[in-house]
């Protein structure tokens, strides 16, 4: 994501798409409740889906390698990963597709773990049906995705540290010793915080200041 | 500490508070209020002549009131900066004719009553939040008699009492008779691990703090009798168990059970009644002094910082990290990092470790000297824009300018746009595209969801920062809720266009929930105010049209409220079950009939 540059393959809406769908087992986290093979099979029949498979761990090195090879081999231009929350692995998979030339915003995730298998543990059939719907929704959204690129803007190499206790002091010193300017703000007349009030501290049993 | 004062790269502002933060990752504009010290920081040598001359005597906060200081003082001998400070509220008056004895005493002429508070502006690329802690105030735990009996101390007061730099120069005495106590009791978990009072969490440091204190006591006064009342001792860190064993070997008596009452005896000693849960016997212990091992509470300033930076708090009041395992020092707001007790109770070593991590994360962000902006921003289609100005009005970042008089189309400053999508939702002419969350992208998700067995589905719009994260948290906590729930993620609840909701009802949705951050917690300043207005307006409109307004729900669910998320989902399922097929069919018919008017005029 940090390296999002515009020269990646650009996609415009309405274009014929070639989607790859990957339904992750996440060990047993997903597959204990959801029938991942069935979900992948159902997805293979959807419009625009060229490849659809279940995969043991999508985020693992072999998992990512498999997806990347598919992208190159089948000329995939949109990827749906049905696995954990995008709040966890969206950056991982964006980087993955970017490394083989796809724009990172051509990725869509279906949250089968946090928002399906883990919350419907006692209803495997209902969970599998919901997973199918989730993947269908992700595929339909993937069809509509297009490339996006951020702008490079200059950044201020300076850090504000709020609070001059032991944590603020340490963070300030580490930053400053690395050559970064620090603005340290402390509301009391002296830095030191609660730590300064303590007598000898474990394990060195010396003074805290 | 002195390294901070000396470091050429560190600009230290004491007596200062951050009052406003604007901008975004890479370039934050910060306003700092620096209160007047009335003593020149650079010239003051901390000789102390001024304090000798000052006639005002006040309790010393650093020694938690166990000693006194003057109105002009240094907080403690090793203070950084090493300069005195005037508490202007205590000072007899800065008009020289009133007092000004300190000014006469200061040979270097460092004292200046003309100093005033100043507002400082700084520009920074990243922010480390290290706002620390508030020690628990045991006043509410009256059974321990902290406010009634002078020989009941908090652990922080005790620290000052045995500190060589403290009020008694490290000599342990009781303040009531200035005698050395022969027996001391420690009560653990004061303000911690209680659902009734204080926090329900473990404060992490109190066990080891007590163990350390017992060893220091035994070293100084081998004959002192020490009893520790505890629930269980949490000596989980490196070397901790060893220290605990040393304490036990040195003769400290560890008793499992927290006292029920404390009474004062005529000689001001304390009688503690406790059920020893190891033996099951009710015991009474007479002790000369009692120390309450107080827990850690979040700093009060956390609330203000949270509002300024759009951060989230856990129910305990500590800052919520972006991910508990993989991003433990990152805030969900890009460019903001946590260090120390601001994020949760921790000891010195852990605070230092986390601070170094926060510094490293901060450097990782800044080292390239440039940043790539998030492309999830809104874009205007100039041909469709009617220059009505509503987008500029709703934008929380003032990122949109519209010349309403000259009828110039809206202009979006993409660097200032944070991507909430409220403008796109409010635009009546579909002239704004919200990148990555376009109308088409969201409508097709709704269509797909409702194409089959629409009546069995609950459609939930969840904002990325709070409600979607709350749903994730429900998952992590394995909280079960009905499988009818289907979530569509938007960055902000402000993105949820009324068109999406009408469309969902048109496609047969029995119930639609819009969920977002609590009012005041919105990741996009106050975009969720517009969500609220919009949903309320829609509910009224539904009522007029004869559609049960209950079928559209609005709930605020934070990232930490997994339990609440699951609860709300159960409620949604109940509402869904109450919507009949006839009602749904009627709504579809009605909306189809009114489609054009409804979509264009509502």
Q: pLDDT tens across A194-203, in order?
A: 988 888 787 7
- Burial of B96 from C-beta contacts in 10 A (0-12 / 13-18 / 19+): exposed
Among B278, B297, B316, the domain-final residue is B297
Closest partner residue to B212 (CB to CB) among A158, A193, A202 is A202
Which of A133, A160, A182 would best serve as a mutation to test chain B binding (most B beta carbons within 10 A)? A160
* Residue B587, domain CATH: 3.40.50
Architecture of domain A19-143: 3-Layer(aba) Sandwich (3.40)
pLDDT at position B512 over 80: yes
Chain A residue with the nearest C-alpha to that of B211: A202
H/E stretch holding B50: helix B49-53
Angle between helices B527-545 and B581-601 (to 10 degrees): 120
In a domain? residue B530:
yes
Q: What is the pLDDT of residue B444?
A: 96
Residues of B in contact with A130 (CB under 8 A): 483, 486
Q: Mark yes or no for CB contact A159/B323 under 8 Å.
A: no
Closest partner residue to B156 (CB to CB) among A1, A114, A197 is A197
Which of A159, A176, A192 would best serve as a mutation to test chain B binding (most B beta carbons within 10 A)? A159
Q: A200 in contact with B at a CB cutoff of 8 Å? A: yes
Q: In this structure, are residues A8 and A146 in contact, taking their beta carbons and an 8 Å threshold?
A: no
In a domain? residue B317:
no
Q: In this structure, are B187 and B91 located in the same domain?
A: no
Residues of A in contact with B326 (CB under 8 A): 88
Q: Mark yes or no for CB contact B472/A87 under 8 Å.
A: yes
Q: In this structure, are residues B552 and B514 in contact, taking their beta carbons and an 8 Å threshold?
A: yes
When divided into structural domains, chain B yields a total of: 4
* Strand, helix or coil for residue B564: helix
Confidence band, pLDDT 50/70/90 cuts, at residue A5:
very low
Q: In this structure, are B86 and B224 located in the same domain?
A: no
Q: A201 in contact with B at a CB cutoff of 8 Å? A: yes
Angle between helices B467-476 and A86-99 (to 10 degrees): 100
Q: A157 in contact with B at a CB cutoff of 8 Å? A: yes
DSSP assignment string, B416-446: T-----HHHHH-TT--EEETTS-HHHHHHHH
Provide the phi-psi class of A134: left if phi over 0, else alpha when psi is between -120 and 50, else beta: alpha
Backbone angles phi, psi at B305, to 5 degrees: -65, -40
Q: Mark yes or no for CB contact A162/B81 under 8 Å.
A: no
Q: In this structure, are B394 and B467 located in the same domain?
A: no
Question: Which tens digits make up the pLDDT trace of B570-594?
Answer: 999 999 999 999 999 999 999 999 8
Give the CA angle between residues B396, B398, B402 to the nearest 5°: 125
Q: How far apart are CA B272 and CA B363, in angstroms?
A: 53
Q: In this structure, are B553 and B467 located in the same domain?
A: yes
pLDDT at position B403 over 60: yes
Backbone angles phi, psi at A194, to 5 degrees: -65, -35
What mean pLDDT comes out for the span B396-415?
90
What does the mean pLDDT of chain A come to?
Answer: 91
Here the tokens at position B438 are 């376009």
Q: A6 in contact with B at a CB cutoff of 8 Å? A: no
What does the mean pLDDT of chain B come to?
Answer: 94
Confidence band, pLDDT 50/70/90 cuts, at residue B120:
very high
Residues of B in contact with A150 (CB under 8 A): 372-375
Q: Mark yes or no for CB contact A133/B27 under 8 Å.
A: no
Distances (CA, A) of B89 to A66, A71, A206, B40, B160: 70, 70, 36, 18, 25
Closest partner residue to A141 (CB to CB) among B444, B469, B475 is B444
Q: How far apart are CA A174 and CA A154, in angstroms?
A: 23
Q: In this structure, are B511 and B450 located in the same domain?
A: yes
For chain B, the residue count is 602
Q: A189 in contact with B at a CB cutoff of 8 Å? A: yes
Q: In this structure, are residues B112 and B321 in contact, taking their beta carbons and an 8 Å threshold?
A: no
Chain A residue with the nearest C-alpha to that of B332: A87
Residue A158: CA count within 13 A, CB half-sphere? 16
**Residue B296: how many other CB atoms lie within 10 Å:** 28
What mean pLDDT comes out for the span B91-105?
81
Residues of B in contact with A113 (CB under 8 A): 475
Residues 49-88 on A with a CB inside 8 Å of B are 85-88
Closest partner residue to A200 (CB to CB) among B216, B299, B475 is B216
ipTM of this complex prediction, to 2 decimal places? 0.85
In a domain? residue B324:
no
* Residue B412, domain CATH: 3.30.70.20
Q: In this structure, are B444 and B430 located in the same domain?
A: no
Among B297, B320, B343, the domain-final residue is B297
Confidence band, pLDDT 50/70/90 cuts, at residue A139:
very high
Confidence band, pLDDT 50/70/90 cuts, at residue A7:
very low
What mean pLDDT comes out for the span B185-213?
95
Give the CA angle between residues B212, B214, B220 to the nearest 5°: 105
Q: What is the pLDDT of residue A201?
A: 81
What mean pLDDT comes out for the span B372-380?
92
Q: What is the pLDDT of residue A3?
A: 38
DSSP E strand stretches across A33-131: 49-55, 78-83, 107-111
Enclosing domain of residue B450: 437-601
Backbone angles phi, psi at B459, to 5 degrees: -95, 125
Distances (CA, A) of B562 to B159, B325, B431, B466: 39, 17, 37, 10
Question: Which tens digits make up the pLDDT trace of B123-153?
Answer: 999 999 999 999 999 999 999 999 999 999 9
pLDDT at position B119 over 80: yes
pLDDT at position A107 over 70: yes
**Every domain range in chain A assigned CATH 3.40.50:** 19-143
In this structure, are strands B253-256 and B259-264 parallel, antiparallel, or unpaired? unpaired
In a domain? residue B395:
yes
In a domain? residue B315:
no
Q: A142 in contact with B at a CB cutoff of 8 Å? A: no
Closest partner residue to A156 (CB to CB) among B124, B130, B373 is B124
Q: In this structure, are B458 and B562 located in the same domain?
A: yes
Q: What is the pLDDT of residue B598?
A: 53
Question: Which tens digits make up the pLDDT trace of B520-572?
Answer: 888 888 899 999 999 999 999 999 999 999 999 999 999 999 999 999 999 99
Q: How far apart are CA A194 and CA B133, in angstroms?
A: 8
Backbone angles phi, psi at B554, to 5 degrees: -130, 130
Q: In this structure, are B13 and B25 located in the same domain?
A: yes
Q: What is the pLDDT of residue A9?
A: 43
Q: In this structure, are B229 and B242 located in the same domain?
A: yes
Q: In this structure, are B284 and B381 located in the same domain?
A: no
Among B420, B435, B450, the domain-final residue is B435
Q: What is the pLDDT of residue A15?
A: 63
Closest partner residue to B10 (CB to CB) among A118, A151, A184 is A184
Q: In this structure, are B41 and B79 located in the same domain?
A: yes
Closest partner residue to A175 (CB to CB) among B359, B368, B447 is B359
Here the tokens at position A65 are 């390698």
Which of A108, A155, A207 would best serve as a mutation to test chain B binding (most B beta carbons within 10 A)? A155
**Which residue carries 């069995």 as its tokens?**
B456
The CA distance from A108 to the nearest CA of chain B, in Å, is 10
Q: In this structure, are B219 and B278 located in the same domain?
A: yes
Here the tokens at position B111 are 């004292």
Chain B residue with the nearest C-alpha to that of A176: B9
The CA distance from B2 to the nearest CA of chain A, in Å, is 9
* Residue B176, domain CATH: 3.50.50.60
In this structure, are strands B126-129 and A158-162 parallel, antiparallel, or unpaired? parallel
The CA distance from B546 to the nearest CA of chain A, in Å, is 30
Closest partner residue to B480 (CB to CB) among A122, A164, A182 is A122
pLDDT at position B94 over 60: yes
Q: Mark yes or no for CB contact B351/A165 under 8 Å.
A: yes
pLDDT at position B95 over 70: no
pLDDT at position B250 over 50: yes
The CA distance from A68 to the nearest CA of chain B, in Å, is 23
In a domain? residue B313:
no
Q: Mark yes or no for CB contact B483/A178 under 8 Å.
A: no
Terminal-residue alpha carbon distance, chain B: 62
Which of A139, A148, A202 would best serve as a mutation to test chain B binding (most B beta carbons within 10 A)? A202
Closest partner residue to B355 (CB to CB) among A152, A174, A188 is A174
Chain B residue with the nearest C-alpha to that of A5: B372
| Helix%, strand%, coil% for chain B, nearest 5 | 30, 25, 45
In a domain? residue B303:
no
Q: Mark yes or no for CB contact A2/B78 under 8 Å.
A: no
Q: Mark yes or no for CB contact B372/A164 under 8 Å.
A: no
In a domain? residue B390:
yes
Q: In this structure, are residues B448 and A137 in contact, taking their beta carbons and an 8 Å threshold?
A: yes
Question: Which tens digits make up the pLDDT trace of A172-191?
Answer: 999 999 999 999 999 999 99
Q: What is the pLDDT of residue B213?
A: 96
Q: A47 in contact with B at a CB cutoff of 8 Å? A: no
The CA distance from A48 to the nearest CA of chain B, in Å, is 15
Closest partner residue to A130 (CB to CB) among B28, B326, B483 is B483
């Amino acid at each position: 994501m940090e390296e999002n540059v515009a020269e990646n393959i650009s996609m415009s809406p309405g274009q014929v798409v070639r989607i790859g769908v990957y339904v992750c087992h996440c060990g047993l986290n997903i597959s204990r409740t959801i029938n991942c093979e069935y979900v992948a099979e159902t997805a293979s029949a959807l419009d625009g889906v060229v490849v659809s498979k279940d995969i043991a761990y999508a985020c693992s090195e072999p998992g990512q390698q498999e997806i990347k090879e598919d992208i190159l081999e089948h000329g995939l231009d949109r990827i749906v990963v049905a696995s954990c929350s995008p709040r966890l692995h969206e950056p991982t998979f964006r980087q993955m597709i970017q490394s083989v030339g796809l724009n990172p915003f051509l990725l869509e995730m279906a949250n089968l773990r946090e928002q399906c298998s883990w919350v419907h543990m006692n209803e495997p059939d209902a969970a599998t049906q919901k997973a199918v719907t989730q993947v269908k929704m992700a595929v339909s959204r993937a069809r509509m995705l297009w490339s996006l690129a951020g702008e490079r803007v200059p950044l201020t190499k300076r850090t504000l540290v709020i609070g001059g206790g032991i944590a603020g002091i340490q963070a300030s010193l580490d930053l400053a010793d690395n050559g970064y300017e620090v603005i340290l703000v402390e509301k009391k007349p002296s830095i030191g915080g609660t730590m300064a009030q303590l007598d000898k501290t474990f394990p060195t049993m010396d003074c805290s200041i | 500490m002195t390294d901070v004062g000396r470091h050429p790269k560190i600009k230290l502002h004491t007596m200062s508070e951050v009052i406003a933060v604007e901008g975004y990752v890479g370039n934050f504009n910060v306003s700092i209020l620096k209160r007047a010290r009335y003593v020149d920081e650079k010239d003051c040598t901390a000789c102390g002549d001024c304090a000798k001359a000052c006639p005002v005597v006040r309790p010393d906060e650093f020694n938690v009131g166990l000693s006194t200081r003057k109105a002009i003082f240094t907080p403690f001998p090793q203070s950084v900066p090493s300069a005195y400070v005037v508490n202007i509220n205590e000072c007899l008056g800065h008009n020289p004719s009133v007092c000004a004895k300190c000014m006469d005493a200061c040979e270097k002429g460092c004292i200046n009553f003309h100093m005033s508070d100043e507002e400082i502006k700084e520009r920074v690329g990243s922010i480390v939040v290290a706002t620390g802690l508030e020690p628990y105030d045991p006043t509410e735990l009256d059974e321990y008699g902290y406010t009634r009996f002078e020989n009941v101390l908090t652990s922080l007061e005790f620290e000052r009492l045995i500190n060589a730099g403290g009020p008694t120069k490290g000599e342990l005495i009781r303040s009531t008779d200035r005698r050395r106590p022969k027996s001391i009791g420690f009560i653990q978990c004061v303000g911690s691990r209680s659902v009734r009072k204080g926090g329900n969490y473990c404060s992490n440091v109190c066990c080891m703090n007590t163990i350390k204190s017992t060893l220091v006591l035994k070293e100084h006064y081998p004959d002192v009798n020490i009893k520790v009342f505890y629930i269980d001792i949490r000596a989980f860190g490196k070397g901790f168990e060893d220290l605990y064993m040393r304490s036990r070997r040195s003769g400290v008596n560890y008793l499992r059970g927290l006292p029920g009452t404390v009474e004062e005896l005529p000689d001001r000693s304390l009688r503690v009644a406790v059920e020893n849960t190891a033996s099951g016997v009710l015991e009474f212990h007479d002790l000369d002094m009692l120390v309450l091992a107080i827990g850690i509470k979040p700093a009060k300033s956390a609330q203000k910082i949270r509002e300024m930076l759009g951060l989230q708090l856990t129910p305990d009041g500590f800052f919520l990290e972006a991910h508990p395992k993989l991003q433990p020092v990152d805030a969900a707001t890009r460019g903001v990092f946590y260090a120390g007790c601001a994020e949760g109770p921790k000891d010195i070593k852990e605070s230092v470790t986390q601070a170094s991590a926060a510094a490293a994360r901060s450097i990782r962000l800044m080292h390239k000297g440039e940043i790539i902006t998030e492309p999830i921003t809104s874009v205007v289609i100039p041909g469709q824009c009617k220059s009505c100005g509503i987008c500029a009005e709703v934008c929380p970042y003032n990122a949109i300018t519209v010349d309403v008089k000259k009828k110039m189309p809206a202009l979006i400053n993409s660097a200032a746009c944070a991507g909430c999508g409220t403008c796109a939702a409010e635009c009546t002419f579909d002239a704004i595209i919200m990148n990555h969350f376009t109308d088409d992208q969201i409508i097709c998700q709704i269509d797909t969801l409702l194409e089959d067995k629409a009546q069995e589905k609950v459609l939930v719009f969840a904002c990325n920062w709070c409600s979607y994260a709350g749903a994730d948290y429900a998952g992590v906590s394995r909280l079960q809720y009905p499988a009818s729930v289907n979530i569509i993620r938007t960055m902000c609840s402000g993105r949820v266009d009324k068109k999406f909701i009408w469309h969902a009802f048109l496609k047969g949705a029995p119930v639609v929930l819009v969920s977002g951050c609590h009012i005041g917690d919105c990741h996009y300043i106050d975009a969720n105010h517009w969500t609220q207005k919009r949903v309320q307006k829609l509910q009224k409109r539904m009522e007029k049209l004869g559609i049960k307004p209950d079928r559209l729900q609005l709930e605020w669910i934070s990232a930490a409220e997994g339990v609440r998320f699951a609860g709300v989902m159960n409620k949604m399922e109940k509402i869904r079950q109450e919507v009949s097929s006839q009602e749904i069919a009627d709504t579809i018919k009605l909306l189809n009939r009114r489609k054009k008017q409804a979509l264009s005029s509502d």
